Chain A
């Protein structure tokens, strides 16, 4: 069965960077893209960007341009999200989600809590 397993919770200081991983299984990794979505405490869902697992092409939300890098490791079927220059308002749960060919997100990871605090 399709599974997306994310790395554990993180606590970072303002200005630091974080790297979140999303290890996938149960499907052909290169056949689907992956999106990253975040959810601040008590808030709604915010799309951050997506990456093609086939060729690594990325599209980022303008809000995160310059602070975000998405990558994939095809040898381990794992996607990564790098977020830099962290601020307190980056405190959120970060989800990875598989994207279908028509770009809806069908399977989601369990989420990774990031707390940014001095």
Chain B
């Protein structure tokens, strides 16, 4: 199975900050990476797929980059509604696997 290591597990930030979350795969996943946002009691929401492609309707302050085994989610200008937990997921190979999550909290 492909292991996904996500860091940090949590961070504190202020509105307007630039936030970066990283995800490392245990093998090359060829950009088959998605990022999700999850709020308490809700289903995950797709933000990006193919490492850097923004899902329709997702604000442009969310961006993704990376290749091979290392990927990054960036939120440029954190908004109050962005405080949530973020997960990466590789879909290059079954079983699909998720990172452990990054909880973004208010500083």
Q: Are A102 and B87 in contact (CB under 8 A)?
A: no
Q: Are A47 and B95 in contact (CB under 8 A)?
A: yes
Residues from 58 to 109 in A contacting B, C-beta threshold 8 Å:
59, 61-62, 95, 97, 100, 102-109
Q: How far is the CA of A107 from the CA of B36 in the complex (A)?
A: 11
Residue A45 lies at the interface, judged by CB distance under 8 Å to chain B: yes
Q: Are B46 and A106 in contact (CB under 8 A)?
A: yes
Q: Are A103 and B96 in contact (CB under 8 A)?
A: yes
Q: How far is the CA of A49 from the CA of B94 in the complex (A)?
A: 9
Cβ contacts A to B, 26 pairs, < 8 Å: A35-B96, A37-B44, A44-B87, A44-B101, A45-B87, A45-B101, A47-B96, A50-B94, A50-B96, A59-B95, A97-B44, A102-B49, A102-B91, A103-B96, A104-B34, A104-B91, A105-B46, A105-B89, A105-B96, A106-B46, A108-B43, A108-B44, A108-B45, A109-B43, A110-B42, A110-B43
Q: Which residues of B contact A (CB under 8 A)?
A: 32, 34, 36, 38, 42-46, 49-50, 55, 87, 89, 91, 94-101
